[in-house]
Amino acid sequence: MIDHCLRARQFDRPLIERLCASADRLRAAARDKAGADRLASLLSDKRAVLCFAQPSTRTFLSFANACHILGARFCDLRDMKASSQAKGESWEDTVRTFASYADFIVVRHPEADAAERAARTLEGLERAVRVVNAGSGPDEHPTQALLDVYTLARRGGIDGKRVAFVGDLKRGRAVRSLALMLRPYRVTLSFVSPPEFRPREDLLALLAEGGLRCEQTEDFEGELAKADVLYMTRVQDEYDSAGESRKVDVSRYRLGPEHLARLKPSAQILHPLPRRSEIDPGVDDDPRAAYWDQERNGLWIRAALLLLLSGRDGKV
């Protein structure tokens, strides 16, 4: 079991499968009013702080709605300039303050170690307060990886697949966390990017240590017919120091309707969203487009995670 959700490597295969099964049971139970009412009592004694110091639509709304489904109450802090951080308060003191009011602290933060530091601050606290990393700078986004794995499990399974990551693989935290979460699976990873956006060496070392087969290429067109999963991503230019992304030509790393005939009939097209031009909207109606499913799956897997962290996933 885990106390906090901080990084993808905390999740071994049995734990991932337990969360996916719990998410399936939650969505089945929510189909009728009696079931939905029962779910809304599961965490009715819990409160959450959703602290999002970086922009978010899906992750924020899915955690907020996961709280609604389970009856947990939440408050949110989305503008750090409106918090005492603007008066010079340390992150540690801010986290202690959250812990005075809540049972869950869901954090999105530009700094890579913000969630880890939050969990460390809570060590020794008498009351169990759980930290969930909802995106830590360019480093990790473990709940995105959970919803990605859940989506793949529901759409044909994972073992034996070739997963191609496309785009800004250097700074994409969704890419990093999903690649690491796939370590317990029998997969081949293909990293498809311009040279400037290749994955960082430390990620490749961790994947090699986990025994995953990894390939790197700049040839997106060449990958199309090979991939079982295409994981498209946008340029993470919020991490630029001097607009350097503008100099990188990513126009070749774009999926359009003209490519669809070359994809395997069983291929799955994923994107953590938001998208820019990496996926043409003309692709959306193809049955292999999985990104709107991913959003919905994120709601249920995050609800399953909150239940697990409360030791209550056996109750659904």
Instruction: Compute the least distance from the CB of residue 235 to ligand NCD, in Å.
Output: 9
Strand pairing report for 73-77 and 229-232: unpaired
Question: Is residue 273 close enough to count as binding ligand NCD by CB under 6 A?
Answer: yes
Q: Which of 25, 117, 155, 173 binds ligand NCD (CB under 6 A)?
A: 173
Retrieve residue 178's tokens: 């999903």
Question: Is residue 167 close enough to count as binding ligand NCD by CB under 6 A?
Answer: no
Using CB under 6 A as the binding rule, the residues of this chain from 230 to 269 that contact ligand NCD are 233-234
Q: Which of 141, 155, 170, 176 binds ligand NCD (CB under 6 A)?
A: 141
Instruction: Compute the least distance from the CB of residue 211 to ligand NCD, in Å.
Output: 26
Question: Is residue 109 close enough to count as binding ligand NCD by CB under 6 A?
Answer: no
- Comparing CA positions, the residue from 169, 155, 117 lying closest to residue 291 is 155
Question: Is residue 170 close enough to count as binding ligand NCD by CB under 6 A?
Answer: no
Q: Which of 62, 121, 133, 144 binds ligand NCD (CB under 6 A)?
A: 144
| H or E element, residue 13 | helix 13-29
Binding residue count for ligand NCD, defined by CB under 6 A? 12
Alpha carbons 225 and 67: distance in angstroms, whole number:
41
Which contacts (CB < 8 Å, 24+ apart) does range 270-276 have? 270/148, 270/151, 270/152, 270/229, 270/230, 270/231, 270/232, 270/294, 271/231, 271/232, 271/233, 272/141, 272/144, 272/148, 272/172, 272/174, 272/233, 273/58, 274/57, 274/234, 275/232, 275/234, 276/234, 276/235
Q: Which of 27, 272, 278, 310 binds ligand NCD (CB under 6 A)?
A: 272
Question: Is residue 199 close enough to count as binding ligand NCD by CB under 6 A?
Answer: no
Q: Closer to ligand NCD at the Cβ: 54 or 188? A: 54
According to DSSP, residue 5 is labeled B
Place of tokens 């947990």: 72
| H or E element, residue 18 | helix 13-29
Near ligand NCD by CB under 6 A, which window of 15-23, 24-32, 82-90, 272-280? Answer: 272-280
Question: Is residue 102 close enough to count as binding ligand NCD by CB under 6 A?
Answer: no
Instruction: Compute the least distance from the CB of residue 135 to ligand NCD, in Å.
Output: 5
Instruction: Compute the least distance from the CB of residue 67 to ligand NCD, in Å.
Output: 17
Give the orientation angle of helix 13-29 with respect to helix 291-309, to 10 degrees: 100
Instruction: Compute the least distance from the CB of residue 273 to ligand NCD, in Å.
Output: 5
Residues that bind ligand NCD (CB under 6 A): 58-59, 135, 141, 144, 173-174, 233-234, 272-274
